[in-house]
Amino acid sequence: MTCHSSDSTESIENERRSQTETQVAESDQSRIATAMRDLKNTEDNHEHIGEVNVNKKSWYWGSLTANEAKEILQDTSEGTFLVRDSSQRDYLFTISAMTSAGPTNLRIEYKDGKFKLDSVVLVKPKLKQFDSVVHLVEHYVQLSRTSFKGNTTPLAPSKGTVQLLLTTPVYTATPSLQHLCRIAINKTTRQVQELPLPNRLKDYLTDYTYNV
């Protein structure tokens, strides 16, 4: 029988705790890196259809400040939005959107490997969690578009505040007609391989599977 001293037991527990923390940190880094790749995949890249290199267009604006986002959204219609890096250290990303009262910002929270909207602003029990920021945005865009037609509020605001809709992304530059067509197709079907199209076009469609 082996007997460990209290110091030895504590050392083993500390080592296990350290290993667990390292694994969690590595998992978080991997998830965040994947989220960044998803966001960058919202870019309109023409290379897949044989065109020369051009500037990429995306509704993810990177390190944009709140004031810069406000200027971009100032003359847009309600529901127009963009995603940017958060200026607050406790958050990674922020959605800047135009409301009936003007531009506003909604932080995206990352916790336990999931992304969700800031629970301080919205009613916590109604918040869904997502594996990526793009899926989060997709969900609320679809919800907003559906709710807007029915004149309901998809993102329930607190008392005395305005409703928040996410309907139209604003790009860093005007996206190509091909990219807009790809989004339109994604809204109607996920069975791209079944479409009567050349394989080259199918590859272009499957390279971007989102509908926003």
Q: Domain containing 107 — which CATH number?
A: 3.30.505.10
Beta bridge mates, 99: 102
Residue 8 covered by a domain: no
Residue 60 covered by a domain: no
Distance (Å, whole) CA 65 – CA 67: 5
Tell me the per-residue pLDDT of 37-93, one tens digit each, with 9 for 90 and over. Answer: 777 766 555 444 343 333 457 899 999 999 999 999 999 999 999 999 998 888 889
Instruction: Quote the number of domains for the chain.
Output: 1
Q: How many residues does the chain have?
A: 212
pLDDT more than 70, % of the chain: 68
Residue 3 covered by a domain: no
pTM: 0.69
Residue 136 structural domain: 66-169
Residue 56 covered by a domain: no
Tell me the per-residue pLDDT of 5-29, one tens digit each, with 9 for 90 and over. Answer: 555 666 655 555 554 444 445 567 8
Distance (Å, whole) CA 107 – CA 93: 6
End-to-end CA distance of the chain: 63
Residue 176 covered by a domain: no
Residue 75 covered by a domain: yes
Tell me the per-residue pLDDT of 161-171, one tens digit each, with 9 for 90 and over. Answer: 567 789 999 98
Long-range contacts of 149-154 (CB under 8 A, 24+ apart): none
pLDDT of residue 33: 78
